[in-house]
Structure 1
Amino acid sequence: MVATASTAPVPAMQGDEQSFFGHPKGLTYLAFTEAWERLSFYGMSSLLLLYIIQRLLTPEIAGSVLAFNSLRTGIETLTGPLSNQAFASQVFSLYSGLVYFTPVFGGMLADRLLGQRRTVVLGALLMVAGHVLMAFDASFLIALFLLILGTGCLKGNISAQVGQLYQPGDEGRRTRAFAIFYAAINTGALLGPLVCGVLAQIYGWHVGFGVAGALMVIALVIYGAGWKHLPPDRKRQSNAAASKALTGRDWRIIAALLFVGAIAILPCAAYFQEMNAGLLFIEASVDRGLFGWIIPAASFNALDGFFCIMAVPLLIALWQWQAKRGREPHDLSKITIGYLIIAAANLMMVVPAGRVDEGETVSALWPVALYALNALGFIFYWPTQLALYSRAAPAQVNSTMMGILFLSIFLANLLVGMLAGLWETLTHASFFALHAGLAFAAFLIMLLVMRPIGKLLAQP
C-alpha cells in the first residue's frame, strides 16, 4: 500500500516568491480566506440543527417561516411522517449536502465564463447576503438558498487555485500545500462553533448568526488583498481553436477520478455523522460539565477543527520523513489509510454507545476521541484527494472536476440525513457499528482498485 512519491524539486508558479512554509504567497491568501469563510460556515452550521429544533419548530414560530411547512410536506411525501428531530436532521443534511453539490456549477461557471477569481468574489457576496437574512426567522429558507449558491461559487474554485500554484510533477509539495490549506481552514472550524455557539447561548440565536456574517466579510477582504498573488484565471475560450479537445486518455482519467470520488461517499458519511446524530448523542448522553459550567453541545464541533489543525504538522513531518527514505505513500495509499482510520473511530464508539443503551451517561472523553480519530482520517484522505484531482484532472475541466469532487460530500450528507433517521430506531451501538462498516467497505474497495487506477493517474 506504500509507494514512493515524487520528491524532485519543482518550482512553484512562475513569478511568485516562496514565502509561506516554502510555498507561494498565494497559498497564504487562499488559506486565510478559507479560514475566515469556514469560521463563518462552521459557526453558523454548529447552531443550525439545534436552532431548527429549539426555535423554528416551536408552534409560535413555525408558521411564520416562509415556505417552511411546504418544505416539511414535501420531505414527508418522500419519507413518510417525521418527528421534529428527524425533520430537522433532514433539513440540516439537505443544507450540508447542497453546499457541496453546487460547486459543480460553480466550477462550470468559472471554467466557461467568469474565471476562478470572479466566481469566488460572487460566491462571497452571496454568502454575506445569506448570513444577513439568517438574522430573521421568516427568511430562513431564503438565507439557506443564498448560502448554498454562494458556497457553490466559492468552494471548489478556491481549492482549484491552490492546485494551480504548482507545476505538474510537484505531487508531494502540492499534497502538503493542501494539508496546510486545510489546517488554516480548520482554524475557522475550531473557532467558529466556539465563538458563535457561546454568543448564541448568551445573547440569542440571531447574534450568533450575525457574527457569522461579519466573519464572511473579513474573508472577502482578505481575498481581495491577495489578488495579485493568485494564479491567473483558467477559463475555456469560446472559439474552438483556443480550446483543446479532451483526448481518450483524458476521458479515462476523468472516469477514474469519478470512481475514486464515488468511493469517498461512504467514509465521508461516517465522518460527517459526528455533526448530526453525533451532536444528539452529546446533547442527551454525555456528561458536559466542566468546572460547574455546562459546555454547549454545539461547541463540541470545534474539536474537529482543533484536531485537524493538530494532525497537519504531524502528518507533514511523517510524510517528509518517509520521502527522505523513499517511502512516502502515493496519494491513493494516503486516501486508503484515511478510510481505515475513520472506520476505527466509529467502531470505537460502539463501547460508549452500548453503555448509553443501558441507560448510562458517558464521559466527554469518548466524543473527544471520536473527533480526534475522525480528524486524523480526514486529513489523511481529503486534502490528498483534492491534490489528486487538482493534479490529474485535465486543464480544460479542472475547476469543474474539483466541483464534482465536492459532489461526493453532497451525496454523503444526503446519506447522513437518511441514516440519522435510524438514530431513534437502532440501538446506539448498532448505529455506530453501521458507520464503521461503511468506512471499512471503502477501505477494502480502494485496496482492490489502487494499482490499476494508480497506473492511470500517474504522471505521464
Structure 2
Amino acid sequence: MAIASTAPVVQGEEQGILGHPKGLAYLAFTEAWERLSFYGMSSLLLLYIIQRLLTPDVVGSVLALGRLRTGIETLTGPLSDQAFASQVFSLYSGLVYFTPVFGGMLADRLLGQRRTVVLGALLMIAGHVLMAFDASFLIALSLLILGTGCLKGNISAQVGQLYAPGDEGRRTRAFAIFYVAINTGALLGPLVCGILAQVYGWHVGFGTAGALMLFALVIYGVGWKHLPPDRKRQQGVAAPMALAARDWRVIAALLFAGAIGILPTAAYFQEMNAGLLFIEASVDREVFGWTIPATSFNALDGLFCIMSVPLLIVLWQWQAKRGREPRDLSKITIGYLIIAAANLIMVVPAGSVDRGDTVSAFWPVALYALNALGFIFYWPTQLALYARAAPAQVNSTMMGILFLSVFLGNLLVGRLAGLWEILSHAHFFALHAALAFAAFLVMLVVMRPIGKLLAQAGPENQP
C-alpha cells in the first residue's frame, strides 16, 4: 500500500473569482452552507439544553444524558444546570475540532479528501435529522461530531492544494476569501435558525440546519471536476518518501505554534459561551419594542469577519507592494494581541453589571468586532501556513491536527465558563484578556527561530 502522490496538486489553470482557481469558489460555497448549518444549530444549542432538555418534563427522556452528567460531575464535582449545559456545549464545540485529525488520516491513508468530505456531509445530515427529537440528542451530536471531523480539515487541505508551491501570498489570501464564505454562514445561520426556533420552536430551527447541510453537499458535487484529485493509498504505486529529520523538525515547529494558539482560541470562543449568558442576562436588547434573541448576537461574529477580510486583503496587498507585508507568524501574533484587547475592553461593562446595572448592546458588539478582526489575522493565516509548510505525506493529517488547538481551546472554554458564577464578571473577562496576551508574548519570543525553519518548509523544498 502506498500513497499515489506526495506533491500538492495544483489546479490553477481555470480561473474563477478574483483570479483564483474555480475550485476555490466551490469549496468556499460548500463551506458557507455547511457553516450556515453548523452555526445555526450551535447558536441554539446552549439555550436549548438549559431551557428544554434539562426541564423536569424532558430530561428523563433524553437517552444517556443522566449518565453523561454523572460522568462529567465525577471529574468536575456537582454542577448547576447552567454549568453542566456549558460543559456539554464546550465538549461538542471542542470535539468537532478534535475529530478532523482522524478525518485527515482517513483521507491521507484510505479514501482521499473528496470522498471523506462526502462521507462527512452524509453523517452531518443524519445528525441534523436526529436533532428533531429530544430523545436522540446525544446520538445526533455524535454524528455531527464525526461528520464535521471528516469534512472540515479536508476541505481546508483542498484549498491549499489549489496553489502552486511557493505561492504563499495568494494561498494566504485564498484562505481569507475562504473565511468570508465561512463567516457568511456564521452570520446567517444564527439569524435564520434563531428566528425560526423562536417563532416555530426548537426543532424547526434544527431541521432548517439539516436542509442547509444537504444543500452544501449538492454544491460540492456540482463542483467535483474543479477540485484537486484525491490523494490516497493505492496498490502498485511507488512508495512515498519517508519523513526526513528536517520534516520532523518542521512538524514539531508547527505543533508548537499551534499549541500556543490554544489560549487565544479559548478567549475568542468564550464569546459564544459565557458571553452569550452575559448578553442574555445583562444587555439591553430592546429595539423598537422587539427583543433581539440573545442567540442572534452570534451572527455578529460572521458579520465582522466578513467585513474584516477585504480590509485586511487591501492592507496586505498595499504592504506587499512596498515589501512590508508581515510574514505568517507576524500576522498570527498581531491577531493574538487584538483578541487580548477585545476581552480587556469588556472589563468596563462587566464592572457595571457586577454593580447590578444593565449595559448597552454596544459592548458585546465591540467584543465581537475586535474578536473577529483578531481571528481573521491569525486563523486563516495558520491554515495557509500548515497547508504550505506541512510535509506532503501528512498534509491532511497535519491540517486536522491544527484543529486540535481549537478542540483544546474549547475544552478550556468549558472549564473557564464554570468560573462565570464564581468570579466577578470583570475578573472573568480580565482573565481571558491575560490568556490571549500570554500567547502574544510567547509568539514574540519564538517567532524568529520558528520563522526561519518554516520559511523554507513545504513540498517544493523536498528532494
Shared fold (TM-score, shorter chain, > 0.5) = yes
Please name the residue that 1:275 is paired with: 272
Please name the residue that 1:99 is paired with: 96
Instruction: Give the Å deviation of 1:232.
Output: 1.1
- Give the CA RMSD over aligned residues: 1.2
User: What amino acid maps onto 1:432 in structure 2?
Assistant: F
- TM-score by structure 1 length? 0.97
Mapped partners of 1:322, 1:247: distance in 2: 35
Please name the residue that 2:434 is paired with: 437
The alignment-based identity, stated in percent, is: 87
Mapped partners of 1:236, 1:364: distance in 2: 53
Please name the residue that 2:281 is paired with: 284
Instruction: Give the Å deviation of 1:14.
Output: 4.3
Distance 1:247 1:196, change over 3 A: same
Mapped partners of 2:427, 2:436: distance in 1: 15
2:341 matches 1:344 = yes
Q: CA deviation digits over 1:113-155, x for unaligned, max 9? A: 0000000000000000000000000000000000000000000
Please name the residue that 2:3 is paired with: none
Q: CA deviation digits over 1:262-305, x for unaligned, max 9? A: 00000000000000000000000000001110000000000000
2:216 matches 1:216 = no
Q: Does the 8 A contact of 2:11 with 2:227 survive in 1?
A: no
- Secondary structure at the residue paired with 1:18? coil
User: What amino acid maps onto 2:200 in structure 1?
Assistant: Y
User: What amino acid maps onto 1:78 in structure 2?
Assistant: L
Instruction: Give the Å deviation of 1:239.
Output: 6.6
2:77 matches 1:80 = yes
Please name the residue that 2:65 is paired with: 68
Instruction: Give the Å deviation of 1:456.
Output: 0.3
Equivalent runs, 1:15-164 vs 2, <5 Å: 16-164=13-161
2:324 matches 1:327 = yes
Alignment partner of 1:175 out of 172, 175, 182: 172
Mapped partners of 1:404, 1:241: distance in 2: 26
Q: Does the 8 A contact of 1:107 with 1:153 survive in 2?
A: yes
Mapped partners of 1:401, 1:226: distance in 2: 25
Mapped partners of 2:238, 2:124: distance in 1: 37
Q: Does the 8 A contact of 1:270 with 1:435 survive in 2?
A: yes
- Secondary structure at the residue paired with 1:21? helix
Mapped partners of 1:238, 1:132: distance in 2: 38
Please name the residue that 2:394 is paired with: 397
Mapped partners of 1:338, 1:15: distance in 2: 29
Instruction: Give the Å deviation of 1:16.
Output: 3.1
Distance 1:60 1:317, change over 3 A: same
Distance 1:321 1:286, change over 3 A: same
Larger deviation: 321-330 or 227-236?
Answer: 227-236
- Secondary structure at the residue paired with 1:59? coil
Instruction: Give the Å deviation of 1:368.
Output: 0.2
Instruction: Give the Å deviation of 1:17.
Output: 1.1
Q: CA deviation digits over 1:288-328, x for unaligned, max 9? A: 00111000000000000000000000000000000000000
Instruction: Give the Å deviation of 1:240.
Output: 8.5
Mapped partners of 1:238, 1:105: distance in 2: 22
- Secondary structure at the residue paired with 1:97? helix
Q: Does the 8 A contact of 1:236 with 1:243 survive in 2?
A: no
Equivalent runs, 1:182-193 vs 2, <5 Å: 182-193=179-190
User: What amino acid maps onto 2:273 in structure 1?
Assistant: N
Mapped partners of 1:15, 1:338: distance in 2: 29
Alignment partner of 2:377 out of 371, 375, 380: 380
Instruction: Give the Å deviation of 1:237.
Output: 4.3
Please name the residue that 1:421 is paired with: 418
2:213 matches 1:226 = no
Mapped partners of 1:350, 1:238: distance in 2: 60
Mapped partners of 1:417, 1:227: distance in 2: 38
Q: Does the 8 A contact of 1:40 with 1:215 survive in 2?
A: yes
Q: CA deviation digits over 1:202-225, x for unaligned, max 9? A: 000000000000000000000000
Please name the residue that 1:13 is paired with: 10
2:453 matches 1:456 = yes
Count how many residue pairs are aligned between Structure 1 and Structure 2: 450
Mapped partners of 2:12, 2:419: distance in 1: 54
Mapped partners of 2:434, 2:213: distance in 1: 37
Q: CA deviation digits over 1:408-447, x for unaligned, max 9? A: 0000000000000000000000000000000000000000
Q: Does the 8 A contact of 1:16 with 1:229 survive in 2?
A: no
Mapped partners of 1:347, 1:68: distance in 2: 36
Distance 1:263 1:366, change over 3 A: same
User: What amino acid maps onto 1:368 in structure 2?
Assistant: V
Q: Does the 8 A contact of 1:66 with 1:140 survive in 2?
A: yes
User: What amino acid maps onto 1:71 in structure 2?
Assistant: L
- TM-score by structure 2 length? 0.96
Q: Does the 8 A contact of 1:237 with 1:243 survive in 2?
A: no
User: What amino acid maps onto 2:294 in structure 1?
Assistant: A
- Secondary structure at the residue paired with 1:372? helix
**Any gaps of 5 or more consecutive residues in structure 2?**
1-8
Q: Does the 8 A contact of 1:342 with 1:378 survive in 2?
A: yes
Instruction: Give the Å deviation of 1:168.
Output: 1.1
Instruction: Give the Å deviation of 1:236.
Output: 4.0
- Secondary structure at the residue paired with 1:233? coil
Q: Does the 8 A contact of 2:188 with 2:299 survive in 1?
A: yes
- Secondary structure at the residue paired with 1:60? coil
